[in-house]
Amino acid sequence: MPAADQYPMTSQVKPRILAVDDSRVMRRAIAKILGKDYEVLEAEHGNDAWGIIEKDHAIQLVFTDLSMPYLDGYGLLERIRQSAAKHIRDLPVIIITGEEDDDKAQQKALNKGATDFISKPFQSIQLKARAKAHIQFEQTARKLSEAAEKLEQHATVDVITGLGGRHYFDKVAAETLAYTKRHGGNLILLRMDIDNFENLFLQHGKASANVILKDIGALLGTLVRDEDKIARIGLAKFALLLIATNLHDARLLAERMRNEILHKTFTTNHGPINVTVSISILEPQLEQDTDIKSLMAVNESALLELVARGGNGIVSKSTVVDVLGMSGLYNIDVATAIRLIKEGRGELIRPHTARLLRELRPLLELLREETTTIED
């Protein structure tokens, strides 16, 4: 049997079906009957099948036996229906029942989410009819799901957490970045993932997962300032854009977020649940060609490395270059700024102009008053 990742996901012509049975004869029979119209993959038991399903997003229908070694049909069905990935969770699964499977077994499979049943020995016309009907239904459902996902991506508010959605964040992040480039100041990009969220989803279900997302969204909303931007940008992914904040203060905020979530017990229908989070912080040096997509990619890479080491931590990086060639300088005083301008190195103070202007405002107001007095 070819490995699933040998099949290109984007170049398929025939709809793809997975036949799961510990009998090679049965798998070959399904492949022979359906092979003309469909691309049929084979798995000997539920564990093999689950590995294929996780890797191959193009599978549109699963035929599975109930009695198999390692992981039986019930276990496979349960994993499919409890998957965090919607395209897996919605897969039509047809149970192939034998003489040993009584009404009680079929009812159990139905309760676990079986789509349909077909009995051994089956006729070719019967198998083809079921495959055609469920493939057509799956294709229609997938198109509707993709359309709904596009609408969700363009939503301003995430309905579960009450935070901004991905479209909101992309828009305000681009606008904030452009403003900061023009006027100067510090900008911090912070990414946070809930650790092992897909496993949590599998173990405790969608309702419990949504409770955790909602509570974390509410918690984050209380920790950030009104001027900061915060959004849920993926299943368990959050992004924050911190305005006029230095790396030190961003780390303090991140540590508070991590600690409060770490010590919070989430109350769900499956009982109390505790989670951890991983956080990556980036303070970027802003150039004219800097865009939010590239900044997100840098931050995402650091976050993935942290997660690979076990998560439940914070990593931070600054690419801001100070006047001495060191990273992470946050405060250039007025005298240093004037000296840099005289030396022709005024570009180095651009990230700090907003703060310098705030510091100079009292002096400028005093000079304006003195000028007015002299003119009078």
Q: Looking at the structure, tell me whether residues 295 and 165 fall in a common domain.
A: yes
Q: What is the pLDDT of residue 7?
A: 38
Tell me whether residue 273 is in a domain.
yes
Q: How far apart are CA 73 and CA 79, in angstroms?
A: 10
Tell me whether residue 327 is in a domain.
no
Tell me whether residue 326 is in a domain.
no
For the chain (376 residues), the mean pLDDT of every run of 10, in chain order, is: 41 82 93 93 94 91 93 93 85 85 82 89 88 85 67 70 90 88 84 94 90 95 90 94 88 95 93 96 88 92 92 90 44 70 71 72 77 61
Q: Looking at the structure, tell me whether residues 130 and 250 fall in a common domain.
A: no
What are the strands, taking DSSP E only, across the chain?
16-20, 39-43, 59-65, 93-97, 116-119, 187-194, 229-232, 237-243, 266-268, 271-273, 277-283, 314-318
Tell me whether residue 325 is in a domain.
no
Tell me whether residue 328 is in a domain.
no
Domain boundary among 115, 130, 149: 149
**Which tokens sit at 107?**
């009812």
Q: Looking at the structure, tell me whether residues 197 and 236 fall in a common domain.
A: yes
Q: Looking at the structure, tell me whether residues 237 and 314 fall in a common domain.
A: yes
Q: Looking at the structure, tell me whether residues 18 and 158 fall in a common domain.
A: no
Q: What is the pLDDT of residue 5?
A: 40
Q: Looking at the structure, tell me whether residues 97 and 168 fall in a common domain.
A: no
**Which tokens sit at 25?**
């004869």
Q: Looking at the structure, tell me whether residues 90 and 121 fall in a common domain.
A: yes
Domain boundary among 149, 181, 198: 149
Q: What is the pLDDT of residue 183?
A: 75
Q: Looking at the structure, tell me whether residues 143 and 160 fall in a common domain.
A: no
Tell me whether residue 98 is in a domain.
yes
CATH code, domain with 205: 3.30.70.270
Tell me whether residue 104 is in a domain.
yes
Q: What is the pTM of this model?
A: 0.54
Task: List the domain range (segments joined by +) for residue 222.
Answer: 154-318
Q: What is the pLDDT of residue 76?
A: 95
Q: What is the pLDDT of residue 99?
A: 66
Q: What is the pLDDT of residue 151?
A: 56
CA angle 155-156-160, nearest 5°?
75
CATH code, domain with 91: 3.40.50.2300
Query: Which sign, positive or negative, has the C-alpha torsion 341, 173, 236, 253?
Result: positive
Let me know: does 150 contact 160? Beta carbons within 8 Å. Answer: no
Q: Looking at the structure, tell me whether residues 143 and 247 fall in a common domain.
A: no
Q: What is the pLDDT of residue 347?
A: 66
Q: Looking at the structure, tell me whether residues 44 and 74 fall in a common domain.
A: yes
Tell me whether residue 242 is in a domain.
yes
Q: What is the pLDDT of residue 330?
A: 45
Using DSSP, state whether 82 is helix, strand or coil.
Answer: coil
Q: How far apart are CA 233 and CA 231, in angstroms?
A: 6
Q: Looking at the structure, tell me whether residues 191 and 240 fall in a common domain.
A: yes
Q: Looking at the structure, tell me whether residues 137 and 160 fall in a common domain.
A: no
Domain boundary among 149, 170, 202: 149
Q: How many domains does the chain have?
A: 3
